[in-house]
Amino acid sequence: MPPSRRPGRLRHRGVAAPGAALAALALGGCSGTPTIEDVDLSSSDRAACEALVAALPDTLAGQDRVDVRPDDALGAAWGDPAYVLTCGVAEPSDYEPTAECSVIKGVGWYVTDEQLRDPGEDATPVALSLRPYVEVRVPADYRTEGIDRALADLAPALRGHLGEGLSCL
């Protein structure tokens, strides 16, 4: 099986990110209630996102689910600093059909080369193999521990509520 298809450490364009590969910004950059922006979606995509949010786990990589703003946001958060999931995001502007993804438990995650290069910075993996697209923003605190586990924990809910997206190499 090619390295980009192997579960575990995320890989992108042939470069393995150290430890847990990915992380991203907690909204607002500090503790507090994460805010998730509303996105303009078709009624079917909105329904899929609402069903996904309702099915998300109470814990993610050992972190408890926390409140988000607004209450009816198409997303969820866990921990402090928070992993923050947003459903219905746009395709990344730098995505190309030849981009590599890391497939974890059947979900293809894309992250930019720039984010992979600096393990001390936050990063945002986007589940491009499913639609509507979902991003998980994870604090840099979780880059070496927890990110692979978090993405694996999310996979059953994502696969159960979202449709087919882009192919990953």
pLDDT per residue over 41-52, tens digit each?
999 999 999 999
128 part of a folded domain: yes
56: closest CA among 36, 39, 40, 29? Answer: 36
pLDDT beyond 80 at 15: no
Average pLDDT, whole number, for the chain?
82
Whole-number pLDDT of residue 31: 58
The parent domain of residue 54 ranges over: 3-164
pLDDT beyond 90 at 110: yes
100 part of a folded domain: yes
pLDDT beyond 80 at 67: yes
Whole-number pLDDT of residue 138: 83
Higher pLDDT residue, 12 or 56? 56
Q: Domains in the chain: how many in total? A: 1
144: closest CA among 23, 16, 12, 11? Answer: 23
**Can you give the pTM of this predicted structure?**
0.81
Under a CB-based contact definition with an 8 Å cutoff, are residues 87 and 53 in contact? yes
169 part of a folded domain: no
143 part of a folded domain: yes
